[in-house]
């Protein structure tokens, strides 16, 4: 039996097919083709949809179409200047040949816990926009991943775009991916942090990859940092809080112990960007 | 689907399966410089230029080659200076990675005519060579980049 491959040119047509057919969505196809696609499968190829392309500055933040490639993110002047962590994570995604094809929407929808861009979207507090024949809805990205390789994207929805708020001037931003080597490796641990020092403590958002079944927003660790440099914010408390946020495992790429340790080391390195905190832990 | 595309300047139009790999399509049409290494986008042996951009042809479904210009090393001129520098500088030994490596280097030089070492390493990060140790490849690119 031969499969179907739809490649609609307009969004309405794509959403109609999505509502009616149990087809796998395709954008840059890098994950699909690497994962052993099924010639008898049914695919909804979104790559020709102009509505999902492009980067726009809006009052609420920067709108990034689901089809924007990692190469485009890494080079775009507005992204580099205003969302530099996203330019960095996109440039750390695979090799140039992969970055030329792989899209932000695909990286998110593929829902790998090791994906490189999700920690940055979490740190920036991005919204993901999902389109269906029922309309366009917006969801905090931190609510998107519901379990290992499962998402809040309904069967009739596609990822349309992302709205990423621009951090205030003077905020500190940090991204680091730790893999077997710097080029073209899948991460063992990745951490992204964005935020600033408040009157008491730090107002930061911390996103991590490869430390659990889904990309993780480290809420407990952020809460400890928000309390400020008081008795409540010690090295031990912060480490315990981060360990409560993450659930790393042993697998082919690394071990639970290594990931626990490196995740905390990355957090400490990220905090070095706050002058009065650099010696705190 | 009906695929129309250009391979090394030759116009092609035929009925294909949209999910089939560009890699297999090219090899079946005589472009055997395009090698299958890993088949999952890790090694770069199957790299070609799709509308001037470096891609791994093992990861490109034919649906995405519609109306596209594809370039393999068969489409380079016989006296391509960069390829000559690969030979002269010892940038090729067994040859398995060479076609993809040469195209990755062409893609780099097209966007950055005078790349430094870091830029070369970044551009070739997805092209694995297990023979040369890369030094001959970097020298070849540096010679092609020299004024």
Q: For residue A276, name the pLDDT band (cuts at 50, 70, 90).
A: confident
A3 to chain B, any CB pair closer than 8 A? The answer is: yes
A34/B40 CB distance under 8 A = yes
The whole-number pLDDT of residue A1 equals 46
- Picking from A164, A191, A219, the residue at the C-terminal end of a domain is A164
Same-domain check for residues A65 and A134: yes
Mean pLDDT of A106-125: 97
SS3 A89: helix
What is the C-alpha separation between A208 and A103, in angstroms, rounded? 20
Q: How many residues would you count in chain B?
A: 147
- Using an 8 Å Cβ cutoff, are A97 and B44 in contact? yes
Nearest CB neighbour to B59, from listed A5, A34, A184: A34
Mutate to test the interface with B, among A24, A48, A97 (most CBs of B within 10 A): A97
A98/B64 CB distance under 8 A = no
A96/B126 CB distance under 8 A = yes
Q: For residue A275, name the pLDDT band (cuts at 50, 70, 90).
A: confident
Same-domain check for residues A190 and A250: yes
Tally A–B CB contacts below 8 A: 85
Same-domain check for residues A13 and A69: no
Give the distance, in angstroms, between the CA of residue A122 and the centroid of all CA atoms in the same chain: 6
What is the C-alpha separation between A229 and A240, in angstroms, rounded? 16
A96/B64 CB distance under 8 A = no
Please list the residues that pair with A191 across neighbouring strands.
Answer: A176, A208
| Three-state SS annotation for A12-25 | HHHHHHHHHCCCEE
B19/A30 CB distance under 8 A = no
Mutate to test the interface with B, among A23, A26, A96, A107 (most CBs of B within 10 A): A96
Q: Model confidence over A2-41: pLDDT tens digits? A: 679 999 999 999 999 999 999 999 999 999 999 877 878 8
Residues of B in contact with A29 (CB under 8 A): 59-61, 64
Residues of B in contact with A26 (CB under 8 A): 61
Q: Model confidence over A64-98: pLDDT tens digits? A: 999 999 999 999 999 999 999 999 999 999 999 99
The domain that contains A193 carries what CATH number? 3.30.390.50
Range of the domain at A58: 50-164
Reading the block at residue B130, the tokens are 């297990």
Mean pLDDT of A104-124: 97
Residues of A in contact with B56 (CB under 8 A): 30, 97-98, 101
What is the C-alpha separation between A61 and A86, in angstroms, rounded? 14
- Using an 8 Å Cβ cutoff, are A23 and A42 in contact? yes
Nearest CB neighbour to B54, from listed A30, A33, A100: A100
The domain that contains A96 carries what CATH number? 3.30.465.10
Those residues with Cβ within 8 angstroms of residue B31's Cβ, 6 or more apart along the chain or in another chain: B7, B8, B72, B74
Same-domain check for residues A96 and A62: yes
Those residues with Cβ within 8 angstroms of residue B114's Cβ, 6 or more apart along the chain or in another chain: B145
Same-domain check for residues A209 and A261: yes
B19/A5 CB distance under 8 A = yes
A280: closest CA among A228, A211, A243?
A228
Same-domain check for residues A131 and A214: no
- Picking from A129, A144, A164, the residue at the C-terminal end of a domain is A164
Same-domain check for residues A123 and A65: yes
Task: Give the total number of structural domains in chain A.
Answer: 3
How far away is chain B from the Cα of A159, in angstroms, using its nearest Cα? Answer: 20
A147, pLDDT greater than 90? yes
Same-domain check for residues A153 and A61: yes
Same-domain check for residues A245 and A273: yes
Same-domain check for residues A181 and A152: no
How far away is chain A from the Cα of B28, in angstroms, using its nearest Cα? Answer: 18
The whole-number pLDDT of residue B35 equals 98
- Picking from A110, A132, A164, the residue at the C-terminal end of a domain is A164
Lowest-confidence region among A201-210, A224-233, B59-68, B99-108: A224-233
Same-domain check for residues A66 and A115: yes
B13, pLDDT greater than 80? yes
Instruction: Please give the share of chain B, as a percent, with pLDDT higher than 70.
Output: 99
Minimum CA–CA partner of B52 in chain A: A100
Asked if ipTM goes beyond 0.90, one says yes
Pairing of strands A61-65, A55-58: antiparallel
Q: Model confidence over B82-132: pLDDT tens digits? A: 999 999 999 999 999 999 999 999 999 999 999 999 999 999 999 999 999
- Using an 8 Å Cβ cutoff, are A168 and A174 in contact? no
Same-domain check for residues A92 and A105: yes
Instruction: Please give the share of chain A, as a percent, with pLDDT higher than 90.
Output: 84
Pairing of strands A216-217, A202-209: antiparallel
Reading the block at residue B104, the tokens are 């990755």
Write out the residues of chain B at the interface with chain A, using a CB-CB cutoff of 8 A. Answer: 1, 17-21, 40-42, 44, 47, 53-56, 58-61, 63-64, 104, 107, 121-123, 125-127
């Amino acid at each position: 039996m031969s499969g179907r491959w739809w490649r609609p040119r307009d969004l309405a047509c794509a959403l109609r097919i999505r509502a009616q057919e149990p087809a796998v969505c395709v954008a840059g196809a890098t994950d699909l083709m690497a994962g052993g696609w099924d010639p008898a499968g049914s695919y909804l190829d979104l790559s020709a949809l102009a509505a999902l392309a492009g980067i726009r500055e809006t009052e609420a933040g920067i709108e990034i179409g689901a089809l924007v490639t990692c190469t485009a993110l890494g080079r775009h002047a507005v992204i580099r200047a205003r969302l530099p962590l996203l330019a960095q994570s996109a440039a750390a995604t695979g090799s140039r040949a992969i970055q030329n094809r792989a899209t932000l929407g695909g990286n998110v929808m593929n829902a790998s816990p090791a994906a490189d861009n999700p920690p940055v979207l979490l740190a920036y507090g991005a919204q993901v926009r999902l389109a269906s024949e029922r309309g366009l809805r917006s969801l905090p990205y931190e609510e998107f991943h519901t379990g290992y390789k499962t998402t809040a994207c309904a069967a009739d929805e596609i990822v349309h775009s992302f709205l990423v708020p621009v951090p205030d001037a003077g905020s500190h931003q940090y991204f680091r991916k730790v893999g077997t080597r710097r080029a073209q490796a899948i991460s063992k641990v990745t951490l992204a942090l964005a935020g600033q020092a408040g009157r008491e403590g730090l107002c930061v958002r911390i996103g991590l990859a490869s430390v659990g079944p889904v990309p993780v927003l480290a809420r407990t660790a952020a809460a400890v940092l928000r309390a400020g440099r008081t008795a409540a914010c010690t090295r031990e408390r912060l480490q315990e809080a981060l360990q409560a946020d993450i659930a790393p495992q042993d697998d082919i790429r690394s071990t639970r112990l290594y990931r626990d340790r490196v995740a905390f080391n990355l957090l400490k390195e990220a905090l070095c960007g706050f002058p009065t905190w650099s010696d705190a832990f | 689907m009906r695929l129309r595309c250009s391979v090394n300047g030759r116009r092609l139009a035929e009925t294909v399966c949209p999910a089939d790999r560009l890699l297999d399509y090219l090899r079946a049409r005589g472009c055997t410089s395009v090698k299958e290494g890993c088949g999952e986008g890790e090694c770069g042996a199957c790299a070609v230029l799709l509308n001037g951009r470096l891609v791994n042809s093992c990861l490109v479904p034919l649906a995405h080659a519609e109306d596209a210009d594809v370039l393999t090393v068969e489409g380079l001129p016989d006296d391509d200076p960069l390829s000559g520098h690969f030979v002269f500088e010892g940038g090729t030994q067994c040859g398995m990675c060479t076609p993809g490596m040469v195209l990755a280097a062409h893609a780099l030089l097209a966007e950055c005519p005078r790349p430094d070492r870091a830029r070369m390493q970044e551009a070739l990060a997805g092209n694995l060579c297990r023979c040369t140790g890369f030094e001959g490849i970097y020298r070849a690119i540096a010679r092609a980049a020299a004024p």
